[in-house]
Copies of this chain bind each other. A is one copy, B any other.
Amino acid sequence: MKRFLDLADFSREQVLDLLALAQSLKDHPQPQALAGKILGLVFFNPSLRTLSSFQAGMARLGGSSFVISPGQGTWQLETRLKAVMNGAAAEHIREGIPVLASYCDALGVRAFAEGKNLEADLGESLFGMIDGLCDKPLVNLESAVNHPCQALADWRTLDELGVPRRGKFVLSWAYHPRPLPLAVPAATVHMAAMRGMEVVVLRPEGFALPERIMEKARRAAAESGGSVSETTDRASAMAGAQVLYAKEWGTTDYYGDVEADARLRASLGEWCVRERWFAGAAADAKLMHCLPVRRNVAIADEALDGPRAVVRREAYNRMVVQMAVLHRMLA
């Protein structure tokens, strides 16, 4: 495997194979599998789980890693083609990425959406450029509209919890003080559809997922036997749901317009997940979130601290599945 950029690049069988490898590495550790291998990690944006779980995962396989955070101890990196670089950035990714790739055996890069132009972000223009500059195996640590490591970890979590392949999976918008990127909702709706689930996107007016994201999820559902729909009605969405996956994101009707976004979300403070949201759900319905989560803003303490919440397990599974990805790339 040379690239792990998007779950959609793999067949359902390939994903199941990766998940089986993850389980196998958990049952039968291979502490020397990646001895002498080096993972470079580049973070254009903050991280807690990704930063620590990739380093820990490499170490558990006998390898090592280094971390570069442009602008923090290293130069700011320019990403625009043809830029006249007389500003803050001292180096261009056209040099930075190939140089870092040359030092390691695989590179992981995190580069969030710019959040200004929806088409540019949907087109993954920045990550596409990084892809083209890296001649080593490359892992997407979260790009403009994708987060395949999170999606794979969540798939594993659903399997571990025994959530039926055909179960009802509700991806719900949740409140946040500011707009956040579409990467996790886009990756999540596609993952659940690819798994074969009955996926419902629950979100307020103004926050519908872009058609390109929905269409991709519907194609995955068509192949897997699942379905994808959307609604603004919480009661109908949650009726019989096995999973509520909460996630915050910015307005898509006025993408990149911070003021319009603020006006829209001003009245949406009650989109903070509480136990009562689960009134019509399956008795043992689960609450998922990729973290980080703002307590009592996106999800109330009562829900995060209750028995439905499986967020820590999702986070732990990040390391478990990423070890499979690294093993497939480098072993």
Contacts and interface: CB of A to CB of B under 8 A. Distances in A.
Contacts of A68: 48, 51-52
Interface in A103-162: 103-104
A199 B69 CA distance: 37
A6 interface: no
A232 B84 CA distance: 25
Given A82-B296, A95-B291, A293-B91, A51 B66 contact: yes
Interface stretch (A237-245, A277-285, A308-316): A308-316
Contacts of A56: 38, 40, 66, 103-104
Interface string A76-97: 0010001111100111101110
When all copies of this chain in the complex are counted, the total is 3
Contacts of A35: 31
A91 B53 CA distance: 17
Interface residues of A, number: 64
B294 A99 contact: no
A52 B100 contact: yes
Contact of A294 (B46, B86, B98, B311): B86
Given A52-B66, A69-B73, A60 B82 contact: no
Contacts of A90: 292, 294
Nearest to A37: B59
A295 B52 contact: no
Contacts of A31: 35-36
Interface in A27-53: 29, 31, 35-36, 38, 40, 43, 46-49, 51-53
Given A53-B103, A85-B294, A95-B315, A64 B75 contact: no
A15 interface: no
A67 B102 CA distance: 20
A319 interface: yes
Contact of A92 (B72, B177, B295): B295
Contacts of A72: 72-73
A57 to B, nearest CB: 8
A96 B319 contact: no
A74 interface: yes
Interface of A: 29, 31, 35-36, 38, 40, 43, 46-49, 51-53, 55-57, 59-60, 62, 64, 66-69, 72-75, 78, 82-86, 89-92, 94-96, 98-100, 102-104, 177, 291-297, 301, 304-305, 311-312, 315-316, 319
Given A82-B296, A91-B293, 11 more contacts: A31-B36, A38-B59, A46-B74, A48-B91, A51-B73, A52-B103, A52-B104, A90-B294, A95-B291, A99-B316, A102-B316
Give the 10 A-B residue pairs with the shortest CB-CB distance, closest first.
A91-B292, A85-B294, A56-B103, A55-B66, A102-B316, A99-B315, A59-B64, A84-B296, A90-B292, A48-B74
